[in-house]
A and B are shown apart, each in its own frame.
Chain A
Amino acid sequence: MTDPRVTGSARYAEDLELPGMLHARVVRSLYPHARILGVEGSRVPSSCVVLGPDDVRELGRYGCQIQDQTVLAVDRARFVGDPVAAVAAPTLREADEAALSVDVDYEELPAVYDAVEAAAPGAPLVHDAAVAGGAAAYFAMRPQPGTNVCHRFRIRHGDVEAGFAEADVVVERTYRTAGAQHAHMEPHACVARWDSDLLELWTGTQTPFNVREDLARVFGVAEDRIRLVSPPMGGAFGAKTFVRVEAIAAALARKAGRPVKLVLPRSEEWQTLNRHPATIVVRLGARSDGTLIAKQITCYADTGAYADCGPGVAQKMGFSAPGPYRIPNVSVDAFCVYTNLPPNGAFRGYGQMQSTWASERAMDELADALGIDPLDLRLQNVLREGERYCTGETLHDVRFAECLEAAAEAIGWREGRRGKGLSLVMKGMQTPSRAAIVVEAGDDGGYVLRCATAEMGQGARHAISLLAAELLGVEPESIRFPDPDTSLVPYDTRTTSSRSTYMMGRALVEAVRDLRESGGRRGLGEVRDEGGLDPDTGQGVASTHWHQGAAAAVVDVDTETGLIAVSRLHTSTYAGRVVNRPGAELQTEGSMIMGLGTALFEEVVQLDGQVTNANLSDYPIPAFADIPVQLTHDLLEREGAEIHGLGETALPPVPPAIGNAVASLGIDLADLPMKPEAVLAAIEARQGAVA
């Protein structure tokens, strides 16, 4: 049996053809903030269907954490690209022409494009009123009425002002990270069809149940009148979460009385979902012997015009910002802020890339101010087994020191530090969460697994199949794992956060037990992890277990052009137990390479609310020739350990390892990406300071 990806027989959502199917295009706002005065579809040919504000006005609002979205922008467009109408036509060419024939009248409103500016009093408001919480909010919301802050999260642990007063050295810096685009090779795609009152969707989604929930609310139907099937995706990295193209496709399909396929043109991906730009202020204090005493962090996460899972991202950004260190006094304020930019949402690393950049750069700045080796400073303060984190939770299976030492060793840290940098990542896993799986015995001696884990290249299905084969005592080839179908699989929180192999693996153990105890034909297994944090104090359980890793980089800088060359990049991540080794390696390498892009050149550029680099030439992603000559990794395992997800862990520590390596050459950068211009400016600043 040869893999369909290699034979050319892989099939993605965009490949589905249904009889009578129409092709859709979205009509999008040309303005970053405007009143929609009218949408006219009279020039659209009668062979096409037009969806306008009047068709969706009575439909329900949706939004995974804040219900601030409507199927089309009604009355007000809030970003350049906000869907204001949609068309469906017999061919894509006719749909393109029809979309151009829709006339929209706008009245421009003042707009805001920066999270810090938008959070300040007096900024133009992107949304007028606070709205109801979404079903996928796993914590209480804290919107700040009358402002663009739709959620704020706090950690209060000890007394930071007292801590800073005691400190011998305090460093303070503002760090910024640019937005990024997931750039999954397969665009967003879905096919929607109504069969009397049953809505069926084939859509590349990581979150079938969350989408079903929101669509049920939108169309005012019971959830079991919606059936979602999720075919394997050509990459996702967080972009294919929650409602993206499904509501529009379903609304068009209902109006047309025919199935509708919606596949986004590449340029519209930058108008659909990007990664949260962040501004993070870190104040870090220590005694002269290197003992950390106090850390104060303020994060502003730019969530764009609609919140999506921004509150969760801001929260995760906030709770991981202190880093895996023993700090008696910690204060975190994380704000999720609306701006008139395209929505930002889940992106591999989920807020923890941004906070790790700030936290780990700050550690090196502190090390420099103290005159202590950055590795030693970290080892001195790193959290160890059984210690408590600033959220009050006790940490178990703690391997930070091991990861750090392995990474330092890999680049010969003790042999000389010039051009070398290290970093640590402490990343949480979606908590609380639920996973469930059904195992059915086939008549051929094999088994069928039914669960909602979606495949997006991460190999979770294969890993879960390997676990099942092991538990059932059969060959992996006899395990079948059909595409998630919400009418056939039990509820699972979603395929995000690198949780699936671990959580579904635990559910599988229960399912196999149930199968054996009930006669061997069928078993259901469910697991629930409880936890969560109080948004006002940050206390509770952020994560039932932690993804842990370290990165090390060796760099050269061309001081005349500012180009950074990474000659060596290494990560040491704690895997606990590796199930699917090639998959684990691929996910780690992929995370590192994505981290490299974030570190050196990826950024979503906007001008007056318009993304100006919305194509894969103006927005480059790492290519073969960009990979460091030496790109290596260790996956640390331990007998009897839990499976630890690896889908993201090796991404967040890469940019700060590179940034710290560059800083070891006297070039101090606070912003991502580390552009050559910024390198030259930093070199000049240092020369100016010295002169």
Chain B
Amino acid sequence: MQVNGAAHELEARADESILAVLRRELGLLSVRETCGIGVCGACTVLLDGEPVSGCLLLAPLAQGCELTTVEGLGGEHPVQRAFADAHAFQCGYCTAGMILTAKRLLEDEARPSEDDVRAAMSGNLCRCGSYVKIVDAVLGAAAERAA
């Protein structure tokens, strides 16, 4: 599979999640486990550009696909900058998942409304409650792109 633009051959059991494999084999520690049942989004990875729950993706299902984690965004991606500018995080544990989900949302919807953002991102949980500023960050990234 391709991970963050580089080709890899990874060893995994058939019943291992891609979350476990990416962390163990490639040290991609931004992919995190909070719930283990696909409801929180902390384990979000992009599979051929689409957000999926890494904790539920059995490793063989990623064969031949392109995976993206936040480490693959380079650090200066507009969405990353928007999150930093809007202070859209507290403990940071959910942030990688939020950024990847927001990135995908903005590819689909260049000028989302506040309601659009909330609805599209509602599957990503943040216990610290940074939701208000995360919405600001996503709207900010959209506005900057439009400018």
Judged by DSSP, the binding face of B is: loop
Tally of A-B residue pairs with Cβ under 8 A?
A: 154
Q: Tell whether A589 pairs with B69 under 8 Å between CB atoms, given A6-B83, A457-B91, A624-B118.
A: no
Q: Are A2 and B75 in contact (CB under 8 A)?
A: yes
Instruction: Report how many residues on chain A are interfacial, defined by Cβ distance under 8 Å.
Output: 50
Give complex CA distance A593, B128 in Å: 9
Q: Is the CB of B90 within 8 A of A459?
A: yes
Contact of A486 with B by CB under 8 A:
no
For chain B, residues 111 to 133, give those with C-beta under 8 angstroms from any C-beta of chain A: 117-119, 121-133
Across the interface, do A7 and B75 meet the contact criterion of CB distance under 8 Å?
A: yes
Interface size on B, residues (CB 8 A): 50
Q: How far is the CA of A5 from the CA of B75 in the complex (A)?
A: 10
Cα distance, A592 to B40, chains bound together (Å)? 20
Contacts of A7 in B (CB 8 A): 70-71, 75, 80
Within 8 A of B (CB), among A451-472: 456-459
| Chain A residues in 8 Å Cβ range of B37 | 615-617
Of A6, A585, A623, the most chain B CB neighbours within 10 A belong to A6
Instruction: Flag if A616 contacts B34 (CB, 8 Å).
Output: yes
Residues in B neighbouring A182, C-beta threshold 8 A: 127
Q: Which of A582, A585, A586 lies in contact with B128, CB distance below 8 A?
A: A586
- When distances are taken between beta carbons in the complex, the residues of chain A under 8 Å from B90 are 235, 457-459, 583, 586-587, 590
Q: Are A6 and B80 in contact (CB under 8 A)?
A: yes
Q: Could you tell me if A625 and B118 are in contact, using CB atoms closer than 8 angstroms?
A: yes
Cross-chain contact of B127 among A235, A459, A585 (Cβ < 8 A): A235
Are A185's CB and B131's CB within 8 A?
A: no
Whether A234 pairs with B84 at a CB distance below 8 angstroms is no
- Interface of chain B residues 53 through 92 with chain A (CB within 8 A): 69-71, 73, 75-76, 80-81, 83-84, 87, 89-92
Residues from chain A with a CB closer than 8 A to the CB of B121 are 624
> B92 and A5: CB pair below 8 A?
yes
CB distance from A409 to the nearest CB of B (A): 21
| Given the contacts A185-B127, A237-B127, A627 and B34 also touching, CB distance less than 8 Å | no
Given contacts A185-B127, A457-B128, A586-B87, contact A4 B92 (CB under 8 A): yes
Establish whether residues A6 and B133, one from each chain, have CB atoms under 8 Å apart when the complex forms: no
| Chain B residues with a Cβ under 8 A of chain A | 28-30, 32-37, 39-40, 42, 69-71, 73, 75-76, 80-81, 83-84, 87, 89-96, 99, 117-119, 121-135
- Ranked nearest first, the 5 interchain pairs of A and B with the lowest CB-CB distance are A5-B92, A457-B91, A8-B30, A234-B93, A590-B129
A-B contact pairs, 29 of them (CB 8 A): A2-B76, A2-B80, A2-B81, A3-B92, A5-B95, A6-B70, A6-B83, A6-B84, A6-B92, A6-B99, A8-B69, A8-B96, A9-B30, A10-B92, A15-B29, A182-B127, A184-B91, A185-B126, A235-B93, A265-B36, A457-B89, A586-B128, A590-B130, A594-B127, A617-B37, A621-B127, A624-B121, A624-B134, A631-B132
Interface residues of chain A, those whose CB is within 8 Å of chain B, are 2-12, 15, 182-187, 232-235, 237, 265-266, 456-459, 582-583, 585-587, 589-594, 615-617, 621-625, 627, 631
